[in-house]
Amino acid sequence: MREMTSSVRAAPPRAVLETLGGRGGEALLLGHVHPDADVLGTLLAIGLALDQVGWSVTLAGPHPVPPPLRFLPGAERYEVWPRAPRTFPLVVTTDCPNPRRMEGLLEGTREPAGAVLNIDHHPDNQEYGTLNWIDPAAAATGEMVYELLRALGLKITADIAVNLFTAIHTDTGSFRYSNTTPRTLRIAADLVECGAPPALISDRLYQQRPPDALGQLAEVLRRVQISSDGQVAWLAVPRGLVSDAFVAAEELVNYPRSVAGVRVAVLLREEAPGVVKVSLRGKGDIAVNRVAHRFEGGGHENAAGCTVTGTLDGATEEVLTAVREALRGPRS
Ligand code: 5GP
Ligand code: MN
């Protein structure tokens, strides 16, 4: 089922179509920690599509829909569960490589004889489902779910199109990153024909900053640092400098990433005393997920993350040392 190297994308496996086809049933669509647009857009798209054909669908995850994504159609149905209330015969996860990222909810909701359908595009997916459809060639899980709904013959309504377009839009950095393929753009075009308005979605994602955001941005941007050889740019954000809502709404790692000549960009954010959340971005030839794996994180070759324990300064030093080693090592 894995399609690691081929540029021709894998179609949805027959077993996946059989699980979601037929006469319907009861399903939990389960999200991961700090849900982003790819996981939410795909879960909501599957949920809205299964609704149409008589499934009983529950959508939930360990953390709430962040405010900038509350415009996604169906987002109000997404429940936040501190722990699993009961089990489900079918649990569907999307965009989630590792069951730990569901904070115990998968263990608490799966049934011994039930099915877990794991749909993802992360190359390091741990295949924790009873059925795993993993396609690292997909720019976003949104592309895979588009293919899935088409293969199932389900109608892509305007609401579904908004969810899938947003998933693909964000995972490709608005169609700017190297994962954007002709296929990505064809799918996006079809989603626009189905009723996803690109201008409205861009407005909701990027033009809804609260008035105090630019001042916080100024505070953060002056902290960007660049290595003497110009290849690494990083941004370390101490706790309390800016609001949590601001950090959640902004892709701050994009600023060090935007500097010419930078091959690896790093955002280090002190989440709690002694806990530093790290985002890594590579441009082209560096597999930053290898760096993330050294700290028990993961992700894609060009976009990965991990959590490091220690002070902000200590974590910065450790991660930058690992990045420098990766830059010296064989090119991937
Ligand atoms: P971001 O930097 O936007 O939080 O995440 C970029 C990518 O890295 C995403 O694909 C995400 O799944 C992955 N990622 C981020 N943080 C972690 C982490 O702590 N553990 C793992 N396994 N993956 C992460
Ligand atoms: Mn994704």
- Give the ligand whose atoms come closest to the C-alpha of residue 298: 1
Which atom of ligand 1 sits closest to the CA of residue 304? 8
Render pLDDT for 241-279 as a digit per residue (tens, 0 to 9).
999 999 999 999 999 999 999 999 999 999 999 999 999
274: Cβ contacts below 8 Å, ≥ 6 apart: 309, 310, 311
Report the nearest-CA residue for atom 9 of ligand 1. Answer: 299
Classify residue 26 as exposed, middle or buried by CB count within 10 Å of its CB (0-12, 13-18, 19+). exposed
- pLDDT greater than 80 at residue 127: yes
What does the pLDDT read at residue 10? 72
What does the alpha-carbon distance between residue 228 and residue 226 come to, in Å, rounded to a whole number? 7
Query: Can you tell me the mean pLDDT for 231-236?
Result: 98
User: Do residues 227 and 264 lie in contact, with contact meaning Cβ atoms separated by under 8 Å?
Assistant: no
- Give the ligand whose atoms come closest to the C-alpha of residue 301: 1
Report the nearest-CA residue for atom 16 of ligand 1. Answer: 305
Query: Can you tell me the mean pLDDT for 128-132?
Result: 98
Band (7; pLDDT cuts 50, 70, 90): very low
Q: Which residues line the pocket of ligand 1, CB cutoff 6 A?
A: 97-98, 279, 297-300, 303-307
Band (330; pLDDT cuts 50, 70, 90): low
Query: Can you tell me the mean pLDDT for 314-319?
Result: 98
What does the pLDDT read at residue 204? 97
- Give the ligand whose atoms come closest to the C-alpha of residue 37: 2
What does the pLDDT read at residue 284? 74
Ligand 2 ion local residues (Cβ < 5 A):
38, 95, 140-141, 171
Distance 98 CA to ligand 2 centre (A): 13
Which atom of ligand 1 sits closest to the CA of residue 36? 3
E strand residue ranges, 121-238: 131-134, 225-226, 232-237
Band (285; pLDDT cuts 50, 70, 90): confident
What does the alpha-carbon distance between residue 286 and residue 305 come to, in Å, rounded to a whole number? 14
Distance 175 CA to ligand 1 centre (A): 19
Which atom of ligand 1 sits closest to the CA of residue 122? 10
Which atom of ligand 1 sits closest to the CA of residue 98? 22
What does the pLDDT read at residue 22? 79
- Give the ligand whose atoms come closest to the C-alpha of residue 257: 1
- pLDDT greater than 50 at residue 2: no
> CA 93 → CA 24, 32, 118, 284, distances in Å?
17, 8, 5, 29
Query: Can you tell me the mean pLDDT for 135-164?
Result: 98
Distance 251 CA to ligand 2 centre (A): 14
Render pLDDT for 38-77 as a digit per residue (tens, 0 to 9).
999 999 999 999 999 999 999 999 999 999 999 999 999 9
User: Do residues 147 and 11 lie in contact, with contact meaning Cβ atoms separated by under 8 Å?
Assistant: yes
What does the pLDDT read at residue 6? 39
Query: Can you tell me the mean pLDDT for 24-47?
Result: 97
Distance 214 CA to ligand 2 centre (A): 27
- pLDDT greater than 50 at residue 5: no
What does the pLDDT read at residue 9? 65
Query: Can you tell me the mean pLDDT for 91-116?
Result: 97
Report the nearest-CA residue for atom 23 of ligand 1. Answer: 298
- pLDDT greater than 90 at residue 291: yes
Band (209; pLDDT cuts 50, 70, 90): very high
What SS3 class is residue 312? helix
Query: Can you tell me the mean pLDDT for 287-314?
Result: 97
Band (3; pLDDT cuts 50, 70, 90): very low
Rg over alpha carbons for the chain, rounded to the nearest Å, is 20
- pLDDT greater than 90 at residue 329: no
